Structure 1
Amino acid sequence: MRTLVAAMLLTAAAAGCAAADTSTLPRMVVEFSFAPTNTCQGISPEIRLLGVPDGVTTYDVRLTDLDVPGFHHWAQTLGAAGPVIRAGAGVGYFGPCPPSGTHRYQIEVTARDARGRPLAYGDKTVDAGR
């Protein structure tokens, strides 16, 4: 029950942080993979970014289960300390832990400047399951 409530709260929070149109932004390459601790144990994965522009102060990060529309596992703004978001950086991270089978998960990252303006965007989709 606690897991369901946490997931519902995260989904509601993510809906309030709807992403702006990113189609015109410069692209970043997003690299990550799910280790066992990044799934049902709830520790966010390390995310490596290539092509991060100058002037970035924050990253908006979102993890979505593409096989369950509207189910967001993580939506958070993190301080940018270089092109790597360290493992475990995510407060409120609800890792992929599907009841059965494999699901497709997408991490999206928007790099923003000190005024909150988007500077670049990247995403990556991977499969994960039990």
Structure 2
Amino acid sequence: MSLLTRLITAAILMTSPIPALAFEIAFTWDGLKPCSSGNPGTVPSPAFAVRDVPEGTAFIRFKLVDRDVPGFNHGGGVVAYAGGDVIPAGQFKYKQPCPPDGAHRYEWTATAQTKKNGGKLAVAKAARPYPE
């Protein structure tokens, strides 16, 4: 590789943006009352571990989807975010998992936002079966 090629390559690498860390969430079903009737109750949200929340995030919107029955609205909520790595349990209410025909796969989507109703910065997803 010529000196000119090495200098151009170095200049490109120095001016390229450093990749941002990915926004991540995690949760468990710990403490959730068992349900298999197909008639979900309204329950407090689980605690969420959050990681690499984008700078400027003021709110995080959570939404639960049953990947086996995606048309069923389990709901979710919007939580004010002031920093930290945990969103405590009970910040909003939603319809709990309650599959009548064995385990289903459920996925929480968290959207980091600058405003309560918009300004999307990043999206994170975490999925688990219920019951486990």
Return the TM-score normalized by structure 1: 0.70
1:84 aligns with 2:79: no
Bigger Rg, structure 1 or 2: 2
Superposition CA RMSD, Å:
2.3
- Determine what percentage of the aligned residue pairs are the same residue: 33
Give the gaps of 5 or more residues in structure 2.
Answer: 1-19, 36-40
| CA deviations over 1:10-57 (Å, ceiling 9, x no partner) | xxxxxxxxxxxxxxx973111111114266462311011111011111
Letter in 2 for 1:28: F
Runs of 4+ more than 6 Å apart: none
How many residue pairs get aligned? The number is: 105
Distance in structure 2 (CA, Å) of the matches to 1:95 and 1:39: 9
User: Which position in structure 2 is the counterpart of 1:118?
Assistant: 120
Letter in 2 for 1:51: D
Give the gaps of 5 or more residues in structure 1.
Answer: 1-24
Return the TM-score normalized by structure 2: 0.69
Distance in structure 2 (CA, Å) of the matches to 1:38 and 1:108: 22
What SS does the aligned partner of 2:115 have? Answer: coil
Give, in angstroms, the shift of residue 78 of structure 1.
Answer: 1.5
More displaced stretch, 31-40 vs 82-91 = 31-40
